Amino acid sequence: MKLPFVERLRYGVIVSDGPVEAELWRRGLREFPPELYNLRQPAVVEEIHRAFVEVGAEIVQTNTLRANRIALERYGLADKVYELNRTGIWLARCAALHRAYAAGVVGPTGKFLAPLGNVRPEEARRAFVEQIVALVDGGAELLILKGFIELQELELAIEAAQSVNPRLPVIALKAFPEDGTVLAGSFPSRVASHLGRFPVVAIGAGGTVGPQRMLGIARSLVASARQPVCALPDVSVPRVVGDIRFYEPEPDYLARVARELVALGIRIVGVDGGATVECVCAIAEAVRQVPLPGSAPHPGASVPSQDILPVEVPAPTTFAQKLGRKFVLTVELDVPRGLDIGSVLEGARFLQRYGVDAINISDGARARLRMSSIALAHLVQSQTGVDCITHLACRDRNVIALQSELLGAHALGVRNILAVTGDPPHIGDYPYATAVFDVDSVGLIRILRSLNEGRDAMGNPLGQAANFCIACACNPAAEDWSKELERLERKVAEGAQVIFTQPLFDPELWERFRQATARLSVRVLVGVLPLRSLRHAEFLHYEVPGIVIPRWVRQRMARVSNSEAALREGITIAVEFLRAIRQSADGIYLMPPFRRYDVVVEILRQLELLPAQPVLSS
């Protein structure tokens, strides 16, 4: 008679089967997601499960990795959650009978959790509960939570399992990156220690890495784990075409690695991606003769930390050092459409002479094609010596590219980053371009903070901490002010250190904003846009989302008769506003009319903010 699973864990190594996908593929069943075959070809799925059991697998994993509501939405199958999972566990039980354990498999949602993505943690947790209820109703003998890259999402799945049935055994598997540097450090060991606090019967690693990489992960996990450890490597590194992964399994090679894994102390061993019946057979035969290690590793054994190397973190940027110590002056320059950046360099040198502390470089504002903000900021800083505030939009880059850009920016000395979501492509030069928006500005701020802590967005160590000055934007004139304030509070909670506001004209609006944000530990630079004409004011007010030009300002601009008088009136309105708010702001963010940088000088002159003598540019 079969022992309860927790008791079976005490007696020797357990061999697990793998997903049914590779075997379905061999039979010509190639629709995606493979979970569909629980309903379309149940006899074939059961046949594959039984074949794994026949060659020595003691754990039968259900064909339900993507069978939660959020993951199934991608395929239009969100209404099939219960049916797919209930059928999946029934097929596994029929194959397992009294020889193996039917394990309900729960995988991630396939989307980033907020704030990196749009899936709220509670939404993910509900999806896991719904799936686990179906698996439990179908008679799951244990649960395997696998494929989880984010630890937070894995924790949500564990909590969901506990809420459905706290007595059901749970195996929690983390998916590690295919990165030798990360895996050679203490990161897997820290993951083991972290998961050790949860009520699971085993922890481990599954998928994403091949057998050789799994050896390094297993060594670290066993050294720190308080529970038995499970290792389910992919059979190889796959080639990916669309949703399909092509593997090249070598059963003999897998068998040799499986023996090494068991010798390290792994208690549950098998394969994940690319698993075939021959692979599981080779592993089962190989580990049958391997004795368990004589003594278990000391629980919580320490592993020297190699995640963040003792490399000196760069000093704060010049701009960051000035915040809170002086009234900071920044100016936005017009980014050219083509390759000639002479006007930008000329403008930066001009403004530097008159005491401007930093230059703002936008990133494809209004979804218009412009030079890379990071490249341009680097050129400005290296050729003029003036600091740049580099805007970075989420529109054009996925979460991998955003982090890659940021690492490159940091290496180039571009470290003042204003995180913006970005305007949608349909309003710009390329209306049919694809918008990415893996994350929004809140998620980008979270990424920046993670990099400053020496981690990537998924918590994987980078070897050295960055030192970005993290800025965000806010619109005090937003129509839904309560929503705008809530979003701003999220940005600050995620790590924003300084706020740049949209252009303001009304001191009363500024005062409302100042009082609402007084409790936030953050510096504020007030956006000021000197108007050049009534037409300019009306264009901004009626045609540019997010900018509000008060009626009284438009009326004043309408009273002037010519362009020069209109520009003088725009300067006067800006100066009046700045005099009213200067004592309660940390600085100003000036957006002068097209290349009219003399307007900046005039405003600073009237505010008595010009240096005694213009500074010679470097």
Of residues 8 and 297, more confidence is placed in: 8
Polymer length in residues for the chain: 618
Q: In what order do the strands lie in the sheet with 14-15?
A: 14-15, 268-269, 229-232, 202-206, 170-174, 142-148, 101-106, 59-61
Is beta strand 59-61 parallel, antiparallel or unpaired with respect to 142-148? unpaired
Q: What is the pLDDT of residue 546?
A: 83
- Under the banding of pLDDT at 50, 70 and 90, the label for residue 52 is very high
Q: Do domains 13-287 and 327-606 have the same CATH topology?
A: yes
Residue 599 pLDDT greater than 70, yes or no: yes
| pLDDT at 403 exceeding the cut of 80 | yes
Q: pLDDT at residue 296 above 50? A: no
Contacting residues for 549 by C-beta, under 8 A, at least 6 apart: 505, 531, 537, 538, 540, 541
The structure tokens 């937003």 sit at 478
50-54 mean pLDDT: 97
pLDDT at residue 183, rounded to an integer: 53
Helix, strand or coil, per DSSP, at residue 431: coil
Hey, what are 180's tokens?
A: 């030798």
Residue 297: band (very low, low, confident or very high) from pLDDT cuts 50, 70, 90: very low
Report pLDDT for 426.
83
Q: Residue 177 has what pLDDT?
A: 78
Residues 305-312 have a mean pLDDT of: 52
Side-chain half-sphere CA neighbours of 527 within 13 A = 24
Say what the pLDDT of residue 244 is. 67
Sorting pLDDT into bands at 50, 70 and 90, what band is 187?
confident
| Euclidean distance between CA atoms 157 and 117, whole angstroms | 17
CA-based R_g, the chain, Å: 30
pLDDT grade for 182, boundaries at 50, 70 and 90:
low
Question: Which position has the token pair 């005039």?
Answer: 602
Tell me the β-bridge partners of 416.
Answer: 469
Contacts of 86 (CB under 8 A, 6+ apart): 134, 135, 137, 138
Q: Is the pLDDT of residue 146 over 70?
A: yes
pLDDT at 616: 56
Give the whole-angstrom CA distance, residue 260 versus residue 563.
81
Domain ranges of the chain: 13-287, 327-606
CB burial class (10 A; 0-12, 13-18, 19+) of residue 383? middle
Q: Summarize the confidence of residues 287-303 as an average pLDDT.
A: 54
For residue 387, pLDDT beyond 50: yes
Instruction: Report the pLDDT averaged over residues 242-253.
Output: 79
- Token pair in block for residue 92: 């596994």
* Residue 117 confidence (pLDDT): 85
How does pLDDT run across 540-571, given as a tens digit for each residue? Answer: 999 888 899 999 999 999 999 898 999 999 99
Q: How many CB atoms lie within 10 A of CB 222?
A: 24
Calculate mean pLDDT across residues 473-481.
94
421 pLDDT higher than 60: yes
The answer for residues whose C-beta is within 8 angstroms of residue 289's C-beta and 6 or more apart is none
pLDDT band at 242 (very low <50, low <70, confident <90, very high): low
Question: What residue type is assigned to position 139 of the chain?
Answer: G
Mean residue pLDDT of the chain comes to 91
First to last CA, the chain: 84
- pLDDT > 90? residue 531: yes
Q: Which two tokens stand for residue 530?
A: 């000197």
CB-CB contact of 435 with 425 (8 Å): yes
115 preceded by a cis bond (ω within 30 of 0): yes
Please give the pLDDT value at position 246.
74
| Statement: residue 310 has pLDDT above 70 | no
Indicate whether 181 pLDDT > 60.
no
CB 31 within 8 A of CB 37: yes
CA distance 511 to 518: 10
Choice between 182 and 267, residue whose per-residue pLDDT is larger: 267
Q: How confident is the model at residue 461 (pLDDT cuts 50, 70, 90)?
A: confident
pLDDT-based confidence at 303, cuts 50/70/90?
Answer: very low
Query: For position 614, what pLDDT does the model report?
Result: 64
Confidence of residue 291 (pLDDT cuts 50, 70, 90): low
pLDDT, position 106: 98
User: Over 80: is that where the pLDDT of 455 sits?
Assistant: yes
The yes or no reply on domain 327-606 and CATH 3.30.450.20 is: no
| Dihedral of alpha carbons 38, 40, 45, 47, sign | positive
* Spatial distance between the Cα atoms of 194 and 173, rounded to a whole number of angstroms: 12
> Band of the pLDDT at 302, cuts 50, 70, 90?
very low
Q: How far is the C-alpha of 243 from the C-alpha of 84, rounded, in Å?
A: 19
Q: Is the peptide bond before 33 cis (omega within 30 degrees of 0)?
A: yes
pLDDT of 428: 86
At 295, the pLDDT band (50, 70, 90 cuts) reads: very low
Q: Is the pLDDT of residue 408 over 50?
A: yes
Residue 511 pLDDT grade (very low, low, confident, very high; cuts 50, 70, 90): very high
- Pairing verdict, β 268-269 and 244-246: unpaired
Superfamily (CATH) of domain 13-287: Homocysteine-binding-like domain (3.20.20.330)
pLDDT score recorded for residue 618: 46
Nearest by Cα to 576 from 614, 550, 541: 550
Q: Which pLDDT value is given to residue 240?
A: 66
One-letter-per-residue 3-state SS of 41-101: CHHHHHHHHHHHHHCCCCEEECCCCCCCHHHHHCCCCHHHHHHHHHHHHHHHHHHHCCCCE
Question: Model confidence over 6-43: pLDDT tens digits?
Answer: 999 998 999 999 999 999 999 999 899 999 999 999 99
For residue 508, pLDDT beyond 50: yes
CA pair distance 48, 20, nearest whole angstrom: 7
In the chain, % of residues over pLDDT 70: 92
Q: Is the pLDDT of residue 238 over 90?
A: no
Provide the pLDDT for residue 301: 40
What confidence category does residue 2 fall into, taking pLDDT thresholds of 50, 70 and 90? confident
Measured distance CA(552)–CA(540) in Å, rounded: 15
| Residue 398, pLDDT above cutoff 80 | yes
Q: What does the alpha-carbon distance between residue 597 and residue 148 come to, in Å, rounded to a whole number?
A: 52
Residue 293 pLDDT exceeds 70:
no
The pLDDT score that the predictor gives to residue 286 is 93
